[in-house]
A and B are shown apart, each in its own frame.
Chain A
């Protein structure tokens, strides 16, 4: 029976992923800010077949509170097989350009808090010498673009951190998975016009489960984003700075 810890459990992608683990009969520990929504999701997952669902309220920007929540999760589940870190916001790029405090706050939510969580989680997983740490980064972290480079920079920090962590933990039997979704139709992206490149949270969730099962290192979701980002990464700066993306 898989023991799964999800941080940012009320996000659409995390909820869809949790449903897949519930259907497998997993034991889950959910962490998010909103207690009421956590309770709704926990009830739902139990009906869907989860063996056990517990939860804790946490604002990831309260770094001092991390250790207590992680300890509670490890105690409750008796060890963890899969950690999914899924919290995040989509910063308003213009606001980040206008205000230092907004920029740093958004960077903290999307990068520093993740690094803060991953540090003790990595040590705990290393000690048990098994399992997977999966983190939702983004294709936006592959190259900074004028339209959202604060978000891109935060996700780039997470992706690079994970790359190093993967090297370190690989030797200890712990897989580190970097998840890079493209456009996903979630409440976070409500204001966008949707086109053919958009995926559903359910499709991304099944990609996450598959990548965890297969112990993959990096998963672009859906897969075609790997090709798109390969092209975007290789556009020379001289040209890149003139185009609008």
Chain B
């Protein structure tokens, strides 16, 4: 069955055979084409695509194997979604150790991209909480990988973009919580300097920190935005929690992108000024705190048929202020800015992953409607800032970074290649190896 495979950015368009995987004991399908595991398609670019090859659709590996409510250790198949795990563990007093901004990712995808979240400065990446997994290779070998057993395979597979083989199951350490509530504060900051001040003041006492930046603002307001910091709240919070919002959806792909310079400037200004007071406190359910966009089903359709491109980079601490300011200036100058501009400081904790993206410094995520050459040129300009600062770009969100820059950003790529399964490949990997 050949289908047009899509990643979350709806760009690029590719075609591949999709083979459903439902039985973790079964061997991999036999085919001449190259294979790549595919979870729930939430990677933005082409790292989850394999044009002209086969996708091993592992979402069917959705069984739990064991959960111990005393220790919080979960063993499950690799196609289980974070949303399903939350449904299982939150009522039993546990939470995901690390979660990205969507709960619709699989465990296998989270390992392959070594995902991070708002608590990176405290907890590191998802890979830091993986205790073990099984790696199924195309030659039929099944490797039990832990930090001490097959340790080099463990390191290569965490952040290994699915290229080392198929992860069939994994064991993950959950984090204790008292209940589903979050106690959060939102601080308005006037400019980038304001962000770095509040970020440094917050990282010690707040488990989750992240900022939204108004990328349309210029001049003295350059880099203004809203800084959110939060902790898990006690079981019975002092403040009555607000009720969760209704779930909306984008029922079809509009013929044109609804995101254009005018709507962007309006949205950014409205969003920034919606909050009149410099600080607000709120007790809320974890869902709107962690997953505001999951409340709008298929939100990626608002960018129209051409899709969109994400750009997430990290720049080292000593270069962060200067580089982020340059990036915001380029985006603001390009007109319109970015609908979602997210800024956060990563912590020092190292991931076991060989090709892991997070590293100490400030990370900045942007998205742009795909306008072909114009967008690509803009992203090239961002790259020149990131490369000069000694930073890196996140493969899970990329559809265009030049191979030479990937190899500069991820110097471990060369030793990584020996762990790639000879029958595995991806559109991303072929692109950055050119």
Q: Type the 1/0 row for B62-78, where 1 means its CB is closer than 8 Å to any CB of A.
A: 01111100000000100
The secondary-structure label for the interface of chain A is helix
B280 at the interface (CB under 8 A from A): no
Query: Do residues A187 and B63 form an inter-chain contact, with CB atoms below 8 A?
Result: no
Q: Type the 1/0 row for B138-166, where 1 means its CB is closer than 8 Å to any CB of A.
A: 00000000000000000000000000000
A171 at the interface (CB under 8 A from B): no
- Which A residues are in CB contact (< 8 Å) with B22? 187
Question: Total interface residues on B, using CB and 8 Å?
Answer: 13
Which residues of chain A from 21 to 77 have a CB within 8 Å of any chain B CB? 36-37, 40-41, 43-44, 47-48
- Which A residues are in CB contact (< 8 Å) with B246? none
Query: Do residues B66 and A47 form an inter-chain contact, with CB atoms below 8 A?
Result: yes
Query: Do residues A190 and B25 form an inter-chain contact, with CB atoms below 8 A?
Result: no
Question: When the two chains form the complex, which single residue of A36, A41, A190, A191 contacts B63, counting CB atoms closer than 8 Å?
Answer: A41
Query: Do residues B88 and A48 form an inter-chain contact, with CB atoms below 8 A?
Result: yes
Given contacts A44-B65, A47-B88, A48-B64, 16 further A-B contacts (CB under 8 A): A36-B25, A37-B25, A40-B23, A40-B25, A43-B64, A43-B65, A44-B63, A44-B64, A47-B65, A47-B67, A48-B88, A187-B22, A190-B1, A190-B20, A191-B1, A193-B1
Instruction: Output the residue of A48, A190, A191 with the most chain B CB within 10 A.
Output: A48
Distance from A39 Cβ to chain B, minimum over Cβ atoms (Å): 10
- Which A residues are in CB contact (< 8 Å) with B1? 190-191, 193
- Which A residues are in CB contact (< 8 Å) with B66? 43, 47
- Which A residues are in CB contact (< 8 Å) with B67? 47
Distance from A62 Cβ to chain B, minimum over Cβ atoms (Å): 23
B24 at the interface (CB under 8 A from A): yes
**A43's closest neighbor in chain B, by CB?**
B65
**A44's closest neighbor in chain B, by CB?**
B63
Range of interface residues on chain A?
A: 10 to 19
Pull 16 A–B residue pairs with CB atoms less than 8 Å apart, ordered by A. Answer: A37-B25, A40-B25, A40-B63, A41-B63, A43-B63, A43-B65, A43-B66, A44-B63, A44-B65, A47-B64, A47-B65, A48-B64, A48-B88, A187-B20, A187-B22, A190-B20
Distance from B380 Cβ to chain A, minimum over Cβ atoms (Å): 39
Whole-angstrom distance between the alpha carbons of A47 and B65 in the complex?
7
Distance from A244 Cβ to chain B, minimum over Cβ atoms (Å): 23
Whole-angstrom distance between the alpha carbons of A187 and B22 in the complex?
9
Distance from B74 Cβ to chain A, minimum over Cβ atoms (Å): 8
Q: Type the 1/0 row for A166-208, where 1 means its CB is closer than 8 Å to any CB of B.
A: 0000000000000000000001001101000000000000000
Whole-angstrom distance between the alpha carbons of A140 and B211 in the complex?
55
**B76's closest neighbor in chain A, by CB?**
A47
Distance from A204 Cβ to chain B, minimum over Cβ atoms (Å): 16
- Which B residues are in CB contact (< 8 Å) with A193? 1
- Which A residues are in CB contact (< 8 Å) with B24? 40
- Which A residues are in CB contact (< 8 Å) with B64? 43-44, 47-48
Whole-angstrom distance between the alpha carbons of A41 and B65 in the complex?
9
Whole-angstrom distance between the alpha carbons of A41 and B23 in the complex?
10
